[in-house]
Structure 1
Amino acid sequence: MNWEQIPLGPLQTNCYILSNENKSCLIVDPGEEGKKLVNHLQQRKLKPQAIILTHAHFDHIGAVDHLREHYKLPVYIHEKEANWLMDPVLNGSQFFMLGNSIKAKPAEHVFVKEDKMTIGDFTFEVFETPGHSPGSVSFYFEKEGVVVAGDALFQGSIGRTDLPGGNHNQLISSIHNKLLVLPEETLVLPGHGPTTTVVEEMDSNPFLNGF
């Protein structure tokens, strides 16, 4: 599996394009700039199979409908945030976007529990990693040694927990019990900033080590 990190929008939210040798791909967290993403996919001759969302904050969902309608894609999100897609208050855009509220149509599928999933050519595990938001999830591709962590874990930092539904203790628990237990060499693809690894965060993340 190949992956590309594409920072989008004013918050430079990382969208990930996960693809294989057949040119099939999954789109993770298309936060904004839908036309840019479509052009990129067309240039690469990639064939999207689904949009999967780590959570439903506005900066992760802004281009969902543009891509969904262009490619006729299903969207997946955790059930605890399914209604956030349609609600600018819940997804935060009403407060942070200065009147430019973001809404998306309802998701075609919801994650209701941790599970192993296959979408098209891709098989991965869904981990519930709440704390940044109630329905935050991470996607673990065991064979490839990659976890897409959304806004749970960053290089040298963790997701903010002062937004509605955030819980600091819950986030720390999610990171320790779901992410840091993965093989140390696992590559962590975060929602913002550069990539990292499990071992790097175990050794040096000040939010996880009491520094």
Structure 2
Amino acid sequence: MKLHPSIHVFERGWLSSNNVLLLGRHDAAMIDSGYVAHKQQTLDLVRHALHGRRLDRLYTTHLHSDHCGGNAALQAHFGCDTYIPEPEAEKVRHWDEDALSFKATGQQCERFSIDGVISAGETLTLGDLEWQVLGAPGHHAHSVIFYCPSEKVLVSADALWQNGFGVIFPELEGDEGFAEAAATLDVIAGLDAKLVIPGHGAVFEDVDAALSRARRRLDFLSADPKRNAEYAVKVLLKFLLLERQSMPVAEVVPLFASIPLMQAIASRHLGMSTEQLAAWAIKQLVRACSARVENELLLNDG
């Protein structure tokens, strides 16, 4: 199944989310902007695809740094109107670093402004096609996804990948997340989607198979919430390593100590000290061939 000619997907690595550019006859919109460390690459990709046109609108599926880190750069260059899920609006307007996820996860995001909000139940015209905005809590409590009924295309963010989904962060913060993630998978199953543009990874067509894998993964995690916590630690360390490419092993403990979410996971979910958690996380990445240790340096791998 081919994408409609108005839909352009920039598949990125795991540090930056995929970007979806929607080119209409009279305007251009984009969904998600990647991580701040890749902002120049994001800008170059968009400028090349626009061929001198302006980016008019920018939409963010959820306020994680790998999905909104390029917002400020795109705003500065194009002056595009920017929209985020409605419950996050005041946090962004006041740039509340304690309420936003960036500080808690040890990640970066340049401050950006917003021009409006999006809410579940809305219908938007993007790339001359009608897209439904659907609520997709689970990975993030206020995430949204976009579905185009005429093309049977779903922009699923981190609610559904070809093999799983993003960390269920609300569970780590003391809120319900597993049930919401299951409900979101039910919503996706109720659509007639034939092609999915995920937040990470390649565009795929085997929607039913992906949903089955996601449900099995969710059952595995929810059966023992410790598994979700362990997964989060590995993901967060891998993200930091992707950004830095290398770091002294001795700096991992103080780095973990500076990240509020790591501290919460260590004490609340895993019953470990910061030192124990850092040692465990390094061992797990090395075992998975996602990192290696050489000359007292932790190096990105895989």
Residue correspondences, number: 204
State the SS of the aligned residue for 2:55: strand
Aligned mate of 2:190, from 154, 171, 181? 181
2:8 to 3, 10, 16: 3
Alignment of 1:28 onto 2:28:
no
Offset, 1:120: 7.2
Inter-partner Cα distance in structure 1 for 2:10 and 2:91:
24
Which of 1, 5, 16 aligns to 1:12? It is: 16
Cα displacement (A) at 1:16: 1.9
2:274 aligned partner: none
The corresponding residue for 1:191 is 199
In structure 1, the partner of 2:179 is: 169
Which has a greater percent of strand?
Answer: 1
* 1:30-49 alignment runs, 5 A limit: 30-32=33-35, 33-44=38-49, 45=51, 46-49=53-56
Partner residue, 2:97: 88
- 1:58 corresponding residue in structure 2: 65
- Residues 132 and 166, structure 1, Cα contact 8 Å, conserved in 2: no
CA distance change for structure 1 residues 48 and 96 in 2, over 3 Å: closer, same or farther?
same
Name the structure where helix makes up a greater proportion of residues.
Answer: 2
- Stretches of structure 1 lacking an aligned partner (at least 5 in a row): none
Assess if the C-alpha contact under 8 Å between 1:202 and 1:209 holds in 2. no
Give the secondary structure class of the aligned counterpart of 2:169. coil
CA contact (8 A) 1:203 1:209 kept: no
Contact 2:11 2:202 survives alignment (8 Å): no
SS at match of 2:185: helix
Q: Secondary structure at the match of 1:17?
A: strand
Q: Rg larger in 1 or in 2? A: 2
Q: How far, CA to CA, are the matches of 2:78 and 2:131 in structure 1?
A: 22
Listed as ranges, the gaps of 5+ residues in structure 2 are 1-5, 221-302
- 1:135 corresponds in structure 2 to 142
TM-score, normalised relative to structure 1: 0.83
Q: CA RMSD in A?
A: 2.6
For normalisation by structure 2, the TM-score amounts to 0.60
Of residues 200, 205, 208, the one that matches 2:209 is 200
